[in-house]
A and B are shown apart, each in its own frame.
Chain A
Amino acid sequence: MLYLDANASEPLRPAARTAALVTMEADGNPSSIHAIGRNARNIMESARETVARHCFARPADVIFTSGATEGNVLAIYALGRDRPILVGATEHDSIRATAPDAIILPVRSDGTIAPETLDEALAQNPGALLCLMAANNETGVLHDIEFAAKSCATHGALLHVDAVQVIGRCNRDWLGMGASSLSLSGHKFGGPMGAGALIVRQGIEVTALTKGGGQEQGRRGGTPPLPAIAGLAAALGEVYEADKIASYRDEIEEFCINLGAIAPGGTAPRLPNTTNLALPGVRAETQLIALDMAGFAVSAGSACSSGKLAASHVLTAMGYGDLAGQAIRVSLPWNMQAESVEKFTMAYAAMVKRALRRAEHSA
Chain B
Amino acid sequence: MKVAVAMSGGVDSSVVAGLMARAGHEVIGITLQLYDQGAATSRKGACCAGQDIYDAKRVADRLGIAHYVVDAEARFKKSVMSAFADSYAAGETPVPCIACNQHLKFGDLLEMARDFGAEAMATGHYVRRLDGPDGAEMHQAVDQNRDQSWFLFATTRAQLDFCRFPLGGYASKAEVRAVAAEMGLAVAEKADSQDICFVPNGSYAGIVEKFRPDALESGEVVAEDGRLLGSHQGIARYTIGQAKRLPDAAAHMVVKKIEPGTRRIVVGPRGTQSKTVRLRDVNWLVEPRELRAEVKLRARDTLHPAGILPEGNSAVLTLDDPALAAPGQAAVFYDGTRILGGGFII
Contacts and interface: CB of A to CB of B under 8 A. Distances in A.
Given A307-B57, A308-B71, A309-B71, A293 B115 contact: no
B47 A290 contact: no
A306 B117 contact: no
Interface in A286-303: 286, 288-290, 292-293
A354 B54 contact: no
Contacts of B177: none
Contact of B49 (A282, A286, A308, A362): A308
A306 B70 CA distance: 10
Contacts, number: 60
B112 A285 contact: yes
A305 interface: yes
Given A305-B47, A307-B69, A308-B33, A290 B117 contact: yes
A35 interface: no
Interface string B101-120: 00000000001101111000
A310 interface: yes
B114 A358 contact: yes
A304 interface: yes
A289 B112 CA distance: 10
Contact of A306 (B48, B114, B116): B48
Given A305-B47, A306-B54, A308-B49, A286 B69 contact: no
Given A285-B68, A285-B70, A308 B112 contact: no
A129 to B, nearest CB: 26
A354 B117 CA distance: 8
Interface residues of A, number: 20
Main secondary structure of the interface of A (DSSP, over half): helix
B49 A304 contact: yes
B60 to A, nearest CB: 10
Q: Which of A289, A358, A362 has the most CB of B within 10 A?
A: A289
B66 interface: yes
B53 interface: yes
A306 B112 contact: no
A306 B57 CA distance: 9
Contacts of B89: none
A58 interface: no
Contacts of A306: 33, 47-49, 53-54, 69
A286 B116 CA distance: 7
Nearest to B37: A306
Contact of B112 (A283, A292, A307, A362): A283
Given A289-B28, A304-B49, A310 B114 contact: no
Contacts of B112: 283, 285-286, 289
Main secondary structure of the interface of B (DSSP, over half): mixed
Interface string B35-64: 000000000000111000110010000000
A116 to B, nearest CB: 35
A355 interface: yes
B333 to A, nearest CB: 29
A304 B47 contact: yes
Contacts of A282: 115
Interface string B20-31: 000000001000
A292 B114 CA distance: 15
Contact of B48 (A304, A354, A358): A304
Interface in A316-363: 354-355, 358, 362
B48 A308 contact: yes
Given A283-B112, A289-B28, A293-B28, A307 B117 contact: no
B116 A293 contact: yes
A307 B48 contact: no
Q: Which of B33, B54, B70, B116 has the most CB of A within 10 A?
A: B116
Q: Which of B47, B70, B71 has the most CB of A within 10 A?
A: B71
Given A306-B33, A307-B69, A309-B71, A354 B47 contact: no
Nearest to A305: B47
Contacts of B67: 307
A138 B272 CA distance: 65
Nearest to B53: A306
B68 A289 contact: yes
Contacts of B48: 304, 306, 308
Nearest to B30: A289
B57 A289 contact: no
B115 A355 contact: yes
B37 to A, nearest CB: 9
B66 A292 contact: yes
A289 to B, nearest CB: 5
Interface in B209-242: none
B47 A358 contact: no
Contacts of B70: 285, 308-309
Given A283-B112, A285-B71, A306-B33, A293 B66 contact: yes
A290 B116 contact: yes
A354 B69 CA distance: 21
A178 to B, nearest CB: 37
Contacts of A283: 112
Given A289-B68, A293-B117, 10 more contacts: A286-B112, A286-B116, A289-B28, A292-B66, A305-B47, A308-B70, A308-B71, A354-B117, A358-B111, A362-B111
7 contacts: A286-B115, A306-B69, A307-B49, A308-B69, A309-B71, A355-B115, A358-B111
Interface of B: 28, 33, 47-49, 53-54, 57, 66-71, 111-112, 114-117
Interface of A: 282-283, 285-286, 288-290, 292-293, 304-310, 354-355, 358, 362
Going nearest first, the 8 A-B pairs with the smallest beta carbon separation are A306-B49, A307-B69, A308-B69, A308-B33, A290-B116, A306-B53, A286-B115, A289-B116
